[in-house]
Amino acid sequence: MTIQRHLIALDLDGTLLTDNKEITAKTSQVLQQAMDEGHIVVIATGRPHRASIHYYHNLGLKTPMVNFNGALLHHPTDKKWDALHNPMPNRTALKIVDACYDLNVKNLLAEVMDNVYLDQYDEEIMKIFQSTPQDAPFTIGSLKSKLQEDPTSLLIHPKEDHINELRSHLDNYHAELIEHRKWGAPWNIIEIVKKGMNKAVGLQKIAYYYGIPKDRIIAFGDEDNDLEMIDYAGVGVAMGNAIDELKSIAKHITKTNEENGVGTFLEEYLKLQVNAG
């Protein structure tokens, strides 16, 4: 009997990963079984390559990966695969930097692929953006002078009482050129990428590459940067810990990221025979 191959797209934080940023043995085992049976597993994350490649190798993936919420689509293990990098125009980024200086935000950070530009030295933020100490070459200093290239993403760490004002400014002045989203607590960082970039864009290209129809795309997520992907997938699955807006558009809701939500759903939905060994 030939199985119908599915494309399984996994968000990382709050979805595949537990709150300790680990993949549970159960979920790992289920994903392994799914791959053994011919299904295709991909990571679709807001994280940069350097902060997600460790999980990619842990799962033994040999597939393309979506990073920066769709602004980078590439294949970590196949150099012949054309990477698609869609940064925002540098002049747009620098106009936003100006507005942030006017609002006196706490800090600003720009990423050009795996290079990080940090406006002001901040060890806490540096910890988030380095997956291992030797990773992430940081350039520290005013983005106005240091940032010369088109950034893949721009991140703003505003003061609490400026979040709404800043987001309104982005909507009023830059809506045609950028997308912006807010991270969850405790950081409340505003993340900006080029207009039209989201995880669904990357997923669509991967599905086309493998010849997988939409009704056989299973996507898992928990936050607002997963909305387009969950909406696009034929089988959009919200985690039990997902935001309400995501649950309202998902076709299915599974258990939380702490309760093997991904593994539990796939085992049942794909009728996988996972060895308990």
**Whether 30 and 113 share a structural domain:** no
- The identity of residue 199, as a single letter, is K
**Whether 152 and 106 share a structural domain:** yes
Is residue 277, in this structure, part of any structural domain at all? no
Q: What residues contact residue 201 under an 8 Å CB cut-off, 6+ apart?
A: 70, 73, 228
Question: Given 194, 223, 257, which residue is the final one in a domain?
Answer: 194
**Whether 102 and 168 share a structural domain:** yes
Q: What's 202's domain CATH number? A: 3.40.50.1000
**Whether 162 and 175 share a structural domain:** yes
| Integer Cα distance of 277 and 265 in angstroms | 19
pTM of the model: 0.91
**How much is the mean pLDDT over the chain?**
91
pLDDT at 47 over 50: yes
In the block, tokens 């940064």 appear at 87
pLDDT tens per residue, range 160-188: 888 888 989 999 989 899 998 877 666 77
Is residue 275, in this structure, part of any structural domain at all? no
Q: What domain range is 38 assigned to? A: 7-85+197-269
| Integer Cα distance of 46 and 227 in angstroms | 12
What's the confidence (pLDDT) of residue 64? 98
**Whether 113 and 80 share a structural domain:** no
Give, as one character, the DSSP assignment of residue 161: G
pLDDT tens per residue, range 84-139: 999 999 999 999 999 999 989 999 999 998 889 999 988 877 777 665 445 557 89
Catalytic positions are 11
In the block, tokens 């387009």 appear at 228
How would DSSP label each residue in 74-138? E-TT-TTSPPEE-PPPHHHHHHHHHHHHHHT-SEEEEEETTEEEESS--HHHHHHH-SSTT---E
**Whether 100 and 143 share a structural domain:** yes
| Integer Cα distance of 193 and 41 in angstroms | 25
**Whether 159 and 105 share a structural domain:** yes
**Whether 61 and 126 share a structural domain:** no
**Whether 96 and 188 share a structural domain:** yes
> Of 37, 31, 16, whose CA–CA distance to 61 is shortest?
31
> Half-sphere exposure of 144 toward its Cβ, with a 13 Å CA cutoff?
9
